[in-house]
Structure 1
């Protein structure tokens, strides 16, 4: 009897796997094409940089959409996708154009001016081009991982650069977590009393302003993850290709309404309410601007975002007078899962960095040996 149950369980698992393959057939075909393109073109730098850029542009923005425009999408589900696209896309074009003019062709707001990333690559390895493909797969699995670690660590010239990014990102998570607990502990009861019924029209205006500001600040922080494949100073033609491709990619993202990764946002409490979304975006924009001004070292904005949402969820559970402790189980489960996914992304990033850069591998071995 026990053997029969095991056999049935294995058959069930097998059929579920077959159904998954059928459901994701088109996506898997596209992933296969992307891996083939990375393998074929990576020996040719003049083509490889654009292949890597295009893969990074869509994968990074698709994964990070949950933290920048996720609440915007969730609270504007009743609006036409192209209206949201033109608004966010227009802000993107303005933001990168300003950097391009101000910093002599640099679209990254000098985030790539750090010693570890200052030199544009003149040759590429297969894994450097393929790194965004792994990010696409992780995004499809609904994992909000750090695009900064996954992509920039593949180009960092030394281990210290990765440690600097890690230190700043951990500080960002802790700061955002504390900010989330503090702010929502103070305002959650006020929200429950006042955020009832249909929101006043001015909330929609405020939300579009805060979302636009947040998106602009995010571009200042994280567009380096995309631009790392390209020359540090773009010509006019290169800039048009750079900006035009990302603008079109945003259109696809809005048409798909954020795709599967958007569920990370919609499962959180009350984020579809325009008023709650406005407050989340406002606090997050302040945090990103603070860390942008703190230093030019790139950081994981994803860690800041999941820290903010974790603190918010915990505070809301604590202030829920009718929960009798039950919401804590769901809250801690969400927090642990998000941290786990971030850790998985970090582990994949370190493995890629070690595989790509022998200098980092040697430094890491020396560091481990010294610690021992």
Structure 2
């Protein structure tokens, strides 16, 4: 692997910032519900095991000859490696870290990938918006026709203090594994964009090890500011509701992954799913004693909109700085 120091540092920064921002959408509920129930070592083994498997499968399915492969699942085909990799490319993951602390559902795809290839920004936005619409419609239909019944039961049993059946914990592990694997297929491009597009098996394994170290830190500390987006929605802290959300989220990402290899913002897919679900559940359960819907959804869209604006500003600002690097 012919990578300079800035690429290695960029990879480490991106791994930490992307995991801290995006993967909490996929692992946040799993971590909170297993707190005090499942040993952290077992949680680390599960999360890292799925990550290693996804990277390995991606590497095998996208060979380049000569024992090289692409663990990013071919999603960087339209994002060639820069000829001159300088400190300037460290700015996007640093910006992600800053926005994460604010609790903004920023799209790491917009912020990181647009900085490498600004001309792809429009396609990134359109692909992400289509993912938002797909997730929104799916949630609106599924919860409007059927899953509102589960949400009604969840509200009732929570008020009665009834314990969750053990089989829900097993279902949660399955849905988390499903979603986590699909998220990795989509978002590894945001991390591996800092490394050469083709890696040997040893290089891929080393990068996976570094990524898993970051995941272990995530499991150890748990949670983060971005979880506020999830907590503001109906029943999302409940294991049963979160299990269904994870499964549907994974299905949309799987669907999009099979339609196109071009990256998208998983954050926007997540927001679309939550928005469709929130509208359907409120209508079906006739809930009027909660924070107004326009405030809940408007806050999410505002922060996500800020994320897009900041992403594009950073991506455009980096371009003239490249000549200085």
TM-score, normalised with respect to structure 2: 0.89
1:233-272 deviations in whole A, cap 9, x for unaligned? 1123422331011101001111111233233323322123
1:288-307 deviations in whole A, cap 9, x for unaligned? 00111111111001000011
Equivalent residue, structure 1, for 2:132: 173
C-alpha spacing 1:101/1:45, structure 2 compared with 1 (3 Å): closer
C-alpha spacing 1:326/1:273, structure 2 compared with 1 (3 Å): closer
Equivalent residue, structure 2, for 1:77: 35
Q: Which moved more, 1:267-276 or 1:87-96?
A: 267-276
Q: Which has the higher contact order (CA 8 A, sep 6+)?
A: 2
Kindly indicate whether residue 197 of structure 2 is the aligned counterpart of residue 232 of structure 1: yes
Kindly indicate whether residue 84 of structure 2 is the aligned counterpart of residue 123 of structure 1: yes
Equivalent residue, structure 1, for 2:105: 144
State the Cα RMSD in Å.
2.1
The answer to whether the 8 A contact 1:49-1:230 is kept is yes
The answer to whether the 8 A contact 2:3-2:195 is kept is no
Aligned residues: 309
Kindly indicate whether residue 290 of structure 2 is the aligned counterpart of residue 327 of structure 1: yes
Distance 1:192 1:230 in 2: 44
SS of equivalent to 2:22: helix
Mark the runs of 5 or more structure 1 residues left unpaired by the alignment: 1-43, 359-372
The answer to whether the 8 A contact 1:154-1:356 is kept is yes
Taking the TM superposition and a 5 Å limit, the aligned residue runs for 1:87-98 are: 87-98=46-57
Question: Which of 239, 252, 261 is equivalent to 2:217?
Answer: 252
Kindly indicate whether residue 267 of structure 2 is the aligned counterpart of residue 306 of structure 1: no
Larger Rg: 1
Distance 1:45 1:209 in 2: 37
SS of equivalent to 1:69: helix
Kindly indicate whether residue 312 of structure 2 is the aligned counterpart of residue 353 of structure 1: no
TM-fit CA distance, 1:209: 0.8
Distance 1:71 1:49 in 2: 32
C-alpha spacing 1:102/1:192, structure 2 compared with 1 (3 Å): closer
TM-fit CA distance, 1:328: 5.6
